Structure 1
Amino acid sequence: MSSSDSVQVTLGGLQVSVLIATFIYSISCIQIFLYWRSRFNDRLGILALVSEYLIFETTHTLCFWYYIFTITVKYYGVPEELERRHWSITMSIVFHGLITGCVQSYYSCRVYILSGKRIIPVVCWIGCLIEGCGCVAAAVVLYLVGPAEFAAKWKLFPTLIVAVDLSVCVVNTTTLCYFLHQMRTGSKT
């Protein structure tokens, strides 16, 4: 593959990713709007969590858009710019960790409310903490070594972060489905 093909594939994937992320962000904004409009009587901690999520998600999306602007407009025709360090893409990793931590912490809280047991939510909260610290560490390493070296030598690091994220997500989803089914049917199986 030639250098220009590589740049097109990289920029194409980046642009599609940013557009999909923006679409998902808009859905999140609608959900938050409907949540605030419905005026639930949730505790202050839950209301603060929803507000934090909106701030983190907005900042995350802005970082992506700033990065895509920098690459495609500000440095148009300079493919070497894809290999440089950019604060916006690095910060988007940090905000991704904060976002998933907020969302999964909320679901872990719901598991605790439904089950009345602490073991599963505590394990999930520890997983959220590990993922958040891992995202910050990955962002620092990415910024220090640059994208080319990070992609070549640090492949396992983001894979482990994603594995922790998926594990917490699967545990939360499975236990929520189990306890909601148990409440609906009244069965203990």
Structure 2
Amino acid sequence: MALDTTYGSAFIGLIVAAVLYGVTLLQTFFYYKTYPKDPKVIKALVAIVWFLDTSHLVLCTIAIYWYLVMNFSDPDALTKTTWSMNLQTDCNGLIGLIVECFFARRVWIMSGNGILTLIIVVLACVHFGLGVVFTVEEFLLVENTRFSKLIWVTSTGLGSAAAADIIIACALCYYLLKSRTGFTNTDSLIATLIGYSLTTGLITSVLAFICVVTFATMPTNYIWLAFFWVLGKCYVNSLLAALNSRDSLRERVKPREGTFLHLSHLPQFTTEHQPESPRSDDKSSRHLSRQGVPGSLAVNVHTQTYCRSDYDRGEDSPATPTTGKSTSRFL
């Protein structure tokens, strides 16, 4: 067996998977720190996905260590399967099932289409079920040189995963486009969500398709395995990215308290009227003082309300100010 296309490619896949696992750790920490009030079901879901992803990386590391270190001087060992290499398939399959069902729920919430949601769930279950079949067959085959007998299992399973991801991405984009309101802020948010859906769906579906093609054409090497290991990490990070992006998306529609876009609910201040400045004709100024807080910065904002009726005036007639007020904020 050629080492560069077998365990060489698997080793490279392990390195890339380890880098993506670092992103998973960062996103998991950010999630639990930012969303402590999330439902317990969502918190448990994140914990389960993180545990499966960690277990997958550990199993992959054990397998590579067994082949390249413990059996360094035994070429015959390279053609045999090991328990860690066999079990890692199920971890990725279960991760794909959970993530695809999570996004299927989003499709259901947006569309209310039970048939479409059921199709996605069935495809996800086929992906996981055939992954279990692949693991059982690996234990029975003993030698990885016989993987050509499992082409139909891998092609059908990963093909189902790719189909589910494409359906999810297309469904979310379609129903998001139908939700456009014509308002700039809302439509901009919808465009962002469409970009997220296309990115996450296309990445996982393309990786699954590459796994199918490489395994079907080169079943005796591990080029497909490198992409398969990266695929699982992409599933996990797509789920965590969807959860962690909620606050930033809400901020674009409605500013959150305590952010730089929100200046309400600030401490009370006292006002003392001063005579109008001779340089201002239609604006009034106020002297503001805040007791007990030296060195505070006050921002004085003057607003006016303009009213114009299209029935009483022409389109080019100037609007007249009706009310004016001055408000202040302390920073």
For residue 127 of structure 1, what is the aligned residue in structure 2?
A: 123
For residue 108 of structure 2, what is the aligned residue in structure 1?
A: 112
Partner residue of 1:31 out of 15, 27, 30: 27
Deviates more, 1:126-135 or 1:54-63: 126-135
Partner residue of 1:14 out of 3, 10, 17: 10
1:143 correspondence with 2:139: yes
1:159 correspondence with 2:155: yes
Matches of 2:39 and 2:177, distance apart in 1: 25
1:52 correspondence with 2:48: yes
For residue 322 of structure 2, what is the aligned residue in structure 1?
A: none
For residue 274 of structure 2, what is the aligned residue in structure 1?
A: none
Matches of 1:177 and 1:30, distance apart in 2: 28
1:149 Cα deviation after fit:
4.7
- Any gaps of 5 or more consecutive residues in structure 2? 188-331
Contact conserved, 1:141 with 1:150, CA < 8 A, in 2?
Answer: no
Q: Flag the structure with higher strand content.
A: 2
How large is the Cα RMSD of the aligned pairs? 1.9
Matches of 1:131 and 1:21, distance apart in 2: 20
1:92 Cα deviation after fit:
0.4
Matches of 2:134 and 2:151, distance apart in 1: 10
Deviations 1:65-92 (A, max 9, x none): 1111111111112221121120101110
**What secondary structure does 1:155 align onto?**
helix
Rg: which structure is higher?
2
1:148 Cα deviation after fit:
3.1
Matches of 2:146 and 2:45, distance apart in 1: 32
Partner residue of 1:97 out of 90, 93, 100: 93
**What secondary structure does 2:165 align onto?**
helix
* Identity between Structure 1 and Structure 2 (%): 22
CA separation of 1:182/1:31 partners in 2, compared to 1, >3 Å: closer, same or farther? farther
For residue 68 of structure 1, what is the aligned residue in structure 2?
A: 64
Matches of 2:36 and 2:180, distance apart in 1: 22
Deviations 1:126-148 (A, max 9, x none): 11111111111110001111243
CA separation of 1:167/1:41 partners in 2, compared to 1, >3 Å: closer, same or farther? farther
CA separation of 1:117/1:42 partners in 2, compared to 1, >3 Å: closer, same or farther? farther
For residue 220 of structure 2, what is the aligned residue in structure 1?
A: none
Letter in 2 for 1:75: N
1:115 Cα deviation after fit:
1.8
Deviations 1:35-88 (A, max 9, x none): 222116543333222111111111011100111111111111222112112010
Matches of 2:22 and 2:61, distance apart in 1: 14
Deviations 1:75-132 (A, max 9, x none): 1122211211201011100111101011111111111122233222221111111111
What is the aligned residue count? Answer: 183
For residue 250 of structure 2, what is the aligned residue in structure 1?
A: none
When the two structures are superposed, what TM-score results if normalisation uses the length of structure 1?
0.88
When the two structures are superposed, what TM-score results if normalisation uses the length of structure 2?
0.52
CA separation of 1:178/1:89 partners in 2, compared to 1, >3 Å: closer, same or farther? same
For residue 175 of structure 2, what is the aligned residue in structure 1?
A: 179
